[in-house]
Structure 1
Amino acid sequence: MTEYTLRTIVDGYSYLEGPRWHDGRLWFADFYTHTVNAVNADGSIELVATVPHQPSGLGWLPDGRLLIVSMKDRKVLRQESDGTLVEHADIRDLCGGHANDMVVDAQGRAYVGNFGFDLMGGAPHEHTTVVLVDTDGSASIVADGLSFPNGMVITPDGSTLLVNELFGNRISAFDIHPDGTLGERIEWVGYGDLGAEPDVGTRLEAATIVPDGLTLDAEGAVWIADAANNRAVRIVKGGEILDEVSTAPDGVFAVALGGDDGRTLFLCVAPNFDETERTATRLGRMLATEVDVPHAGRP
């Protein structure tokens, strides 16, 4: 596999998530400083928004307004042209835990995952939903029975949604219907069904991959943040691993392809995902390296 040289883009944050390349800038959320930020071409960082209930997934409406997942109150917020944040959708009754990552399609419809259970509180694992937020803010469940649906991408033709199942040992695919609803789950990558096992530690021990963040490239492969294995891996449908970027000793929890030519792989790293430790320290960083195949699809 290729030898990669990592460089630091930003550091001194708590726990970075939701990296996105948009309008020539790298955007990201920082969980425990409650901020959404953008890196300018000169390396300076702009504070875009403050989200008291913890920001995660990011996306944009066709008119350019920013959507932000507000995790702990389980809402999607919208940033208006004057910078104010307003409620775009309240999805609390459709989630089994904190709202989490999100992908927004070309029409402005948002697909939002959620934890499904109280991970930080040590609750037993439960399967959960993907929620569709339509352009008018109405929301509905479009997939169920997923194990912590996390990073998501939409293929360039808009026909397929890929979803990382963090504690499911798999990546799932869904056909996207014209109205935004989804077809049945298709196993895109699977390394063994972990079933209804309630203990998160047992699920992690049995898993080959622990797929957190996700980004798609122009050859139809995905880079995933393999959260428990201190690496990002490039995988094709069926499960063959083509390449790997080690982030040891740090874990990697989200990835994105971007840069002017789409060939920069951005990696959100931290020592672990422990909420108490990450809140109290500022060891979260954004790393980057160059890869051969550029970005494709959304986000």
Structure 2
Amino acid sequence: MRALTAQPLAADFIFLEAPRWHEGALWVPDVFDSILYRVDARGYKQVVVDQLPPRPNSLGFLPDGTPLLVSSVERQLLKLVGGRLEVYADLSHWATGDLNDFVIDDDGRVYVGNFGYDLFAGEAPKETDIHIVQADGTLQVGGSGVEFPNGAVIINEGRTLVVAETWRGRLTAFDRSPDGSLSNKRVFAELPGRQPDGMCADAQGAIWVCSFNTGEVLRLTEGAQITHRLEFPGSAVACTLGGEDGRTLYITTYDGSIPDQQARKRLGVLHTVRVAVPAP
């Protein structure tokens, strides 16, 4: 296992989730500040849109480049068109908890998880579903029996979906059929003692995953063989590969405690590190 060291790129955020490289820059929402930022390679921050709905904790881009954001509390996916947010899909009658992270395939299907229970009211964790939003807006259940599905990636040339089950300390895989349906649920990697959160995949099908509770970012292959590791103070939240050559790993962290997060202290940081294997 190789240890890597990242460098800070930008700071003075509250809590950054779901960074995504798009059109020459990094796009990333601040979940507790309700702002979508665009950050260039020098760390210059530009506000794309502010006053987002509460906890916009995931971001993605449709095949035509249209940004999608989660309205977690309202359990909706929103699209950003001409600087305005419009409802793209309403999962309020489907999801049993606030919406969480999502991933979009090349055909525009969205795979989205949800908490499954009321985390903030102190309810006990419950299993939930991964939902599929088809390109025509149709909703369906994709996979069941997952606990707090969080970060998600598609690997193996589209044949496999991998999702982080945060409280179980596990990455779980599903086979994907050509029509986007999911089957053959199985363990991709066990990560005991860690809470996997946001993640991304590289061109070799390995996964970079953030461990929220340990402040680690790990590159691993199926079966949990860890090839690279970074460590940060506080919490490691989410990551993505980008840059002009796809070999810059962008990592969001919170360099404080859980009480600091609850107090909305501005301790969110965006880091970068150069890696050998690029984005797919």
TM-score by length of 1: 0.88
SS of residue matched to 1:11: strand
Q: 1:54 corresponds to which letter in structure 2?
A: R
Q: 2:75 corresponds to which letter in structure 1?
A: R
Q: Paired residue for 1:131?
A: 131
Q: Does 1:281 align with 2:265?
A: yes
What is the CA distance between 1:4 and its match in structure 2? 2.5
What is the CA distance between 1:158 and its match in structure 2? 1.5
Aligned counterpart for 1:235 among listed residues 212, 217, 220: 220
Unaligned 5+ runs, structure 2: none
What is the CA distance between 1:274 and its match in structure 2? 3.7
Judging changes above 3 Å, is the alpha-carbon distance between structure 1 residues 55 and 188 closer, same or farther for their aligned structure 2 residues? same
What is the CA distance between 1:140 and its match in structure 2? 1.6
Q: Paired residue for 2:195?
A: 210
Q: Paired residue for 2:237?
A: 253
Q: 1:225 corresponds to which letter in structure 2?
A: C
Q: Paired residue for 1:220?
A: 205
The 8 Å contact of residues 169 and 208 in structure 1, kept in 2 or not, is answered as yes
Out of 152-161 and 221-230, give the one that drifted further.
Answer: 152-161
Mapped to 1, the partners of 2:167 and 2:203 lie a distance apart of 27
What is the CA distance between 1:5 and its match in structure 2? 2.9
Instruction: Show the 5 A alignment for 1:75-94.
Output: 75-80=76-81, 82-94=82-94
Q: Paired residue for 1:120?
A: 120
Mapped to 2, the partners of 1:5 and 1:30 lie a distance apart of 24
Q: Paired residue for 1:28?
A: 28
Q: Paired residue for 1:178?
A: 178
SS of residue matched to 1:36: strand
What is the CA distance between 1:208 and its match in structure 2? 3.1
Aligned counterpart for 1:268 among listed residues 223, 248, 252: 252
What is the CA distance between 1:42 and its match in structure 2? 4.7
Out of 67-76 and 32-41, give the one that drifted further.
Answer: 32-41
The 8 Å contact of residues 14 and 279 in structure 1, kept in 2 or not, is answered as no
The 8 Å contact of residues 32 and 278 in structure 1, kept in 2 or not, is answered as no
Alpha-carbon displacement from aligned partner over 1:155-211 (angstroms, at most 9, x marks no partner): 2622111111111221111111222221131211135xxxxxxxxxxxxxxx33311
Alpha-carbon displacement from aligned partner over 1:14-61 (angstroms, at most 9, x marks no partner): 110011111111111111111111113453222222322221211112
Mapped to 2, the partners of 1:67 and 1:105 lie a distance apart of 13
Judging changes above 3 Å, is the alpha-carbon distance between structure 1 residues 274 and 93 closer, same or farther for their aligned structure 2 residues? farther
What is the CA distance between 1:275 and its match in structure 2? 7.6
SS of residue matched to 1:120: helix
Mapped to 2, the partners of 1:284 and 1:265 lie a distance apart of 17
Instruction: Show the 5 A alignment for 1:11-26.
Output: 11-26=11-26
Mapped to 2, the partners of 1:14 and 1:121 lie a distance apart of 22
Q: Does 1:48 align with 2:35?
A: no
Out of 126-135 and 3-12, give the one that drifted further.
Answer: 3-12
SS of residue matched to 2:182: coil
The 8 Å contact of residues 254 and 267 in structure 1, kept in 2 or not, is answered as yes
TM-score by length of 2: 0.93
Q: Paired residue for 1:290?
A: 274
RMSD of the TM alignment (CA)? 1.8
